[in-house]
Structure 1
Amino acid sequence: MTRYFTDEHEWIDVDGAQATVGITDYAQGQLGDIVFVELPVIGATVTKGGEAAVVESVKAASDVYAPVSGTVTAANDALGDDPALVNSAPEADGWFFKLTLADAGELEGLMDAAAYQAFVAAL
């Protein structure tokens, strides 16, 4: 499995044509305590860079963008009961949705872990 990052602070784990998407630890730290998450519906088509989900914290509401285009195959229902999972495990159990990639070539513009860490350090 390979993990990529966006400059909007989403991560995506890719395993073949399947992927899992969430927000980074940096993003959840900037948002503060997460109180609500709106997830995409299963079967929805998302477009790279397009709005895919919404996360609300005590500070603000923020869109979660699709790192790549694809069809949503699962949503993390656990976030409905416990949105704070995004704070406690943003890059593990706090994932947002899974999808089937429409075009694996879209991964080419994303950052690896080292590039993302350098990007965050420069903010």
Structure 2
Amino acid sequence: MDAADQEPPKPRIVKINSTETWDSHLQQSKSDGTPMVAHFTASWCIPSVAMNPFIEELALVFNDIIFLTVDVDDFKEIANKYEVKAMPTFLLIKEGVVVGRLVGANPDEIKKRIETLLQSNSQFVV
């Protein structure tokens, strides 16, 4: 099979469709240390929707991270629990704990924060 036959890589973006799905990803992050970026969005929020293609690009580049999309209208209880009051809001989660928060559509800043999240996740061997 040559390169032309291969499917393009799919971004690892999970659309949260239940509180159980959210809880299971949080538990996975706790147990295996997988870093996560949660994008709190709403279909009516233009800046939030405009970030979707950028988040897909990030998910292709940072394939060690699980990206989650949470629609605040569908899952108000999750948004309330994490005090999400504006969209888009991005939560950076490590080992099940929120270690960073970014409010607003700022592609450069979210990329910088993801790079920092990954650097803090790597193990240094002396």
TM-score exceeds 0.5? no
- State which structure, 1 or 2, has the greater radius of gyration over its C-alpha atoms: 2
TM-score by length of 2: 0.26
Q: Which has the higher helix share?
A: 2
TM-score by length of 1: 0.26
Q: Which has the higher strand share?
A: 1
